[in-house]
């Protein structure tokens, strides 16, 4: 029997609902249950694929090629359960589905309304997960009180009512702000938020209260009293130094215990959280430190590179080092001496990116890493820039560029109009929609035996997730390889370059895919483990 846990948020956004959901998922797994996590996003975009990383943070790509909310990355990193395209839905998608049905004539005769047509579509999305796990955790994006969230709240209310209290639980995440003048944490916003939720017919049974300092018994009692919730279901959720500590602290505060109790399930006393304890111990007690420069363009918002940051931390966990991330806006390398910004870093990473702005700076940063023998990791756009750098500075193709850029030149990186997925040809025109038309999701690649990447992966067959529209032109292989840029990974049909590496450099690898999406704290991605190891070696040299 599948039980459903609905997670809403109140008071303010950015409370870490996604992390909380992921941590609860991990705790339920530790109790021996299977879990599935999904997210309902109230914004109108069909998916976050076309949203700026500045606005919405990273776009997380699933194995089956959906562009989804970054919270799905948290879910996967904490539970190891691969996220699927059917785990994230937006208002835009819901309306698109309903309107397509309306055009097809599926509702013939009916007037299409938010209730029941939109709410039914939302409920179908949730019901589709019935039977897929012991627990389905369903996070509602946004904050209670937002206009956009209303149909979702109505849908989960109805759903909860239909499956009954034995199978549905409502968990609300709120904030207790600290008011310095009063010297206390305030419970009023939480009371109001719960009241608002109740006005939609949803009575939260567990409150996860975010606060920056311990919540006194008196405040817990007060919240319980005013919100009509047993005091032990008011769970303090304090800030912690590492996100991987969240499962441990929530467990210590009784979150999973109260979930069990609310569902009338046995509270198994012998919960093994050894994996999380080991991870936290490693994060908190590094033996040394490495400094990694991330040369990108969304460097103002840490969430833009969420999975990347985490994957680097995972690489640090594996090597027992603290990874200090140093974000550098790539355009500085268009004017400044790279030395001024990169002196003393132990590794340089050029992450994924889109568009021409800052590209020249990235190429200059690659050059610095190559010439100074500093470990270099290029991801997606980063690989493309590494290829342009080699073409211009080693092969003598001075005007080497990408067709993604407006300026003319020789296109070593070009728009991809044809590729193979599951033995079927995928075709795109240059003028097709931008949304959802990239090469997306998991694709296999073949690595050359004896290459550095084959050694790192300990094998020659891999599968990694992609999100790109342009590719390195394979016809330049010979010219680039003559200059030491080895094409050590290709698509199985040999047409698409997936990996380039340099044999004459301590660690220089560019990949066309996004390895960071599959890294987990308990299963760090081999490329990140190896990159951080190389950075550690570099740190011993300088
Ligand atoms: N803009 C490049 C492309 O579409 C790289 C994309 C990326 O880095 N994810 O091919």
- Ligand 1 near 352 CB (within 6 A): yes
Among 356, 469, 473, which is best to mutate for testing ligand 1, by the most ligand atoms less than 8 A from CB? Answer: 469
How many angstroms is it from 373 CA to the middle of ligand 1? 25
376-379 and 508-511 as β-strands: parallel, antiparallel, unpaired?
parallel
Our CA angle for 114, 117, 123, nearest 5°, is 105
SS3 168: strand
- Ligand 1 near 381 CB (within 6 A): yes
Catalytic entry in 38, 209, 227, 380 = 380
- Ligand 1 near 358 CB (within 6 A): no
Nearest CA to ligand 1 atom 5: 381
Among 295, 412, 467, which is best to mutate for testing ligand 1, by the most ligand atoms less than 8 A from CB? Answer: 467
Domain(s) of CATH 3.40.50.300: residues in the chain? 3-278
How many angstroms is it from 380 CA to the middle of ligand 1? 6
Count CB neighbours of 112 within 10 A: 13
Count CB neighbours of 405 within 10 A: 17
Look up residue 163 and give its two tokens.
Answer: 């499956």
How many angstroms is it from 281 CA to the middle of ligand 1? 36
CATH 3.50.40.10: does it fit domain 3-278? no
The CATH code for residues 287-415+470-541 is 3.40.50.880
Nearest CA to ligand 1 atom 8: 352
Measured from the CA of 355, which atom of ligand 1 is nearest? 1
pLDDT value of position 23 = 97
Bridge partners of 88?
A: 39
How many angstroms is it from 39 CA to the middle of ligand 1? 25
pLDDT value of position 431 = 63
How many angstroms is it from 464 CA to the middle of ligand 1? 15
Nearest CA to ligand 1 atom 7: 352
Q: How far apart are CA 199 and CA 196, in angstroms?
A: 5
- Ligand 1 near 297 CB (within 6 A): no
- CB of 67 within 8 A of CB of 440? yes
Look up residue 94 and give its two tokens.
Answer: 């819901």
35-41 and 135-140 as β-strands: parallel, antiparallel, unpaired?
parallel
pLDDT value of position 541 = 87
pTM (predicted TM-score): 0.93
- Is 466 designated active site? no
Query: At a CB cut-off of 8 Å and minimum separation 6, what does 198 contact?
Result: none
Q: How far apart are CA 282 and CA 242, in angstroms?
A: 11
Q: How far apart are CA 332 and CA 295, in angstroms?
A: 10
How many angstroms is it from 301 CA to the middle of ligand 1? 19
The torsion angles phi and psi of 53, rounded to 5 degrees, stand at -60, -25
pLDDT value of position 299 = 65
Alpha-helical runs (H) found in 358-504: 359-371, 381-393, 452-457, 477-481
Domain(s) of CATH 3.40.50.880: residues in the chain? 287-415+470-541
- Ligand 1 near 508 CB (within 6 A): no
Q: How far apart are CA 339 and CA 326, in angstroms?
A: 14
How many angstroms is it from 352 CA to the middle of ligand 1? 6
- CB of 174 within 8 A of CB of 15? yes
Catalytic entry in 117, 314, 341, 514 = 514
- Ligand 1 near 172 CB (within 6 A): no
Q: How far apart are CA 87 and CA 8, in angstroms?
A: 16
- Ligand 1 near 354 CB (within 6 A): yes
Q: How far apart are CA 36 and CA 132, in angstroms?
A: 7
Among 404, 415, 416, 473, which is best to mutate for testing ligand 1, by the most ligand atoms less than 8 A from CB? Answer: 404
Query: At a CB cut-off of 8 Å and minimum separation 6, what does 102 contact?
Result: 112
From the centroid of its chain, how far is CA 395?
A: 37
- CB of 361 within 8 A of CB of 369? no
- Ligand 1 near 405 CB (within 6 A): no
The string over 487-502, giving b where at least 16 C-beta atoms fall within 10 Å of a residue's C-beta and e elsewhere, is bbbbbeeeebbbbbbb
How many angstroms is it from 434 CA to the middle of ligand 1? 12
Count CB neighbours of 407 within 10 A: 10
- State how far the alpha carbon of 90 is from the alpha carbons of 95, 172, 278, in Å: 9, 20, 37
pLDDT value of position 267 = 74
- CB of 470 within 8 A of CB of 413? yes
- Ligand 1 near 404 CB (within 6 A): yes
Our CA angle for 466, 467, 468, nearest 5°, is 115
pLDDT value of position 199 = 96
Q: How far apart are CA 404 and CA 416, in angstroms?
A: 11
- State how far the alpha carbon of 133 is from the alpha carbons of 124, 264, 302, 416, 494, in Å: 16, 18, 32, 38, 39
How many angstroms is it from 162 CA to the middle of ligand 1? 44
pLDDT value of position 346 = 97
From the centroid of its chain, how far is CA 314?
A: 14
Our CA angle for 282, 523, 130, nearest 5°, is 120
SS3 340: helix
**Block mean pLDDT (10 aa), the chain, length 542:** 96 90 97 96 88 81 93 97 95 96 91 95 97 97 93 97 97 95 92 95 96 92 93 95 96 95 84 94 96 86 88 97 95 92 96 92 96 97 96 94 87 80 70 71 96 97 96 94 96 94 97 97 98 96 78
The torsion angles phi and psi of 60, rounded to 5 degrees, stand at -95, 130
Crossing angle for the helix pair 71-79 and 306-319, to the nearest 10 degrees: 20
Instruction: Please report the DSSP string for 279-304 in residue order.
Output: HHHHHHS-SEEEEEEEEES-TT-GGG
- CB of 68 within 8 A of CB of 60? yes
Q: How far apart are CA 22 and CA 87, in angstroms?
A: 13
Nearest to 95 by CA among 152, 51, 144: 152
Q: How far apart are CA 498 and CA 489, in angstroms?
A: 5
Among 354, 404, 438, 510, which is best to mutate for testing ligand 1, by the most ligand atoms less than 8 A from CB? Answer: 354
The torsion angles phi and psi of 216, rounded to 5 degrees, stand at -70, 155
Catalytic entry in 58, 67, 501, 516 = 516
- Is 371 designated active site? no
Among 468, 510, 511, 512, which is best to mutate for testing ligand 1, by the most ligand atoms less than 8 A from CB? Answer: 468
Measured from the CA of 470, which atom of ligand 1 is nearest? 10
Measured from the CA of 380, which atom of ligand 1 is nearest? 8
How many angstroms is it from 36 CA to the middle of ligand 1? 30
How many angstroms is it from 513 CA to the middle of ligand 1? 9
Query: At a CB cut-off of 8 Å and minimum separation 6, what does 332 contact?
Result: 341, 361
Look up residue 319 and give its two tokens.
Answer: 């090597």
Look up residue 113 and give its two tokens.
Answer: 């309304």
Query: At a CB cut-off of 8 Å and minimum separation 6, what does 483 contact?
Result: 390, 394, 395
- Is 516 designated active site? yes
- State how far the alpha carbon of 76 is from the alpha carbons of 23, 63, 242, 461, in Å: 11, 11, 17, 23
């Amino acid at each position: 029997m599948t039980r459903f846990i609905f997670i809403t948020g109140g008071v303010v956004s950015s409370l870490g609902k996604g992390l909380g959901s992921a941590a609860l998922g991990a705790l339920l797994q530790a109790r021996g249950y299977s879990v599935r996590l999904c997210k309902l996003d109230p914004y109108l975009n069909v998916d976050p694929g076309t949203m700026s990383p500045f606005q919405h943070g990273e776009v997380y790509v699933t194995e089956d090629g959906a562009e989804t909310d970054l919270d799905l990355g948290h879910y996967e990193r904490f539970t190891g359960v691969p996220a699927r395209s059917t785990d994230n839905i937006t208002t835009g998608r819901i309306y698109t589905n309903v309107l397509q049905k309306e055009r097809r004539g599926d509702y013939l005769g009916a007037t299409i309304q938010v209730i029941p047509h939109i709410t039914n579509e939302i409920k179908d999305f949730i019901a589709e997960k019935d039977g897929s796990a012991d627990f389905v955790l369903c996070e509602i994006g946004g904050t209670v009180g937002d206009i956009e969230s209303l149909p979702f709240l109505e849908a989960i209310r109805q759903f909860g009512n239909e499956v009954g209290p034995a199978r549905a639980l409502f968990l609300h995440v709120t904030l207790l702000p600290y008011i310095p003048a009063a010297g206390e944490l305030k419970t009023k916003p939480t009371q109001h938020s719960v009241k608002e939720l109740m006005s939609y017919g949803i009575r939260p049974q567990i409150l996860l209260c975010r606060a920056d300092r311990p919540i006194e018994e008196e405040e817990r009692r007060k919240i319980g009293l005013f919100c009509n919730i047993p005091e032990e279901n008011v769970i303090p959720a304090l800030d912690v130094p590492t996100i991987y500590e969240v499962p441990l602290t929530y467990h210590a505060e009784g979150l999973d215990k109260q979930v069990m109790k609310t569902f009338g399930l046995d509270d198994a006393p012998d919960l093994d959280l050894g994996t999380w304890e080991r991870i936290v111990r490693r994060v908190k007690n590094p033996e040394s430190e490495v400094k990694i420069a991330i040369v990108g363009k969304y460097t103002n918002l840490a969430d833009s590179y969420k999975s990347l940051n985490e994957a680097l931390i995972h690489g640090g966990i594996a090597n027992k080092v603290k990874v200090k991330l140093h974000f550098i806006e790539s355009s500085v390398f268009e004017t400044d001496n790279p030395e001024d910004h990169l002196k003393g870093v132990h590794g340089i990473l050029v992450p994924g990116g889109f568009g021409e702005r800052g590209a020249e700076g990235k190429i200059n940063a690659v050059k610095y890493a190559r010439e100074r023998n500093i470990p270099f990791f290029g991801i997606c756009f980063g690989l493309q820039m590494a290829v342009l750098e080699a073409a211009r500075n080693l092969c003598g193709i001075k005007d080497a560029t990408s067709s993604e850029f407006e300026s003319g030149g020789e296109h070593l990186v070009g728009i991809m109009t044809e590729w193979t997925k599951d033995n079927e040809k995928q075709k795109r025109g240059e003028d097709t929609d931008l949304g959802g038309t990239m090469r997306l999701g998991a694709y296999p690649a073949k690595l050359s035996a004896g290459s550095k990447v084959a050694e790192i992966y300990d094998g020659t067959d891999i599968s990694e997730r992609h999100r790109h529209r342009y590719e390195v032109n394979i016809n330049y292989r010979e010219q680039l390889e003559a200059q030491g840029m080895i094409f050590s990974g290709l698509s199985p049909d040999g047409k698409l370059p997936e990996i380039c590496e340099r044999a004459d450099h301590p660690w220089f690898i560019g990949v066309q895919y996004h390895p960071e999406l599959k890294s987990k704290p308990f299963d760090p991605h081999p490329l990140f483990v190896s990159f951080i190891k190389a950075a550690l070696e570099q740190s011993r040299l300088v």
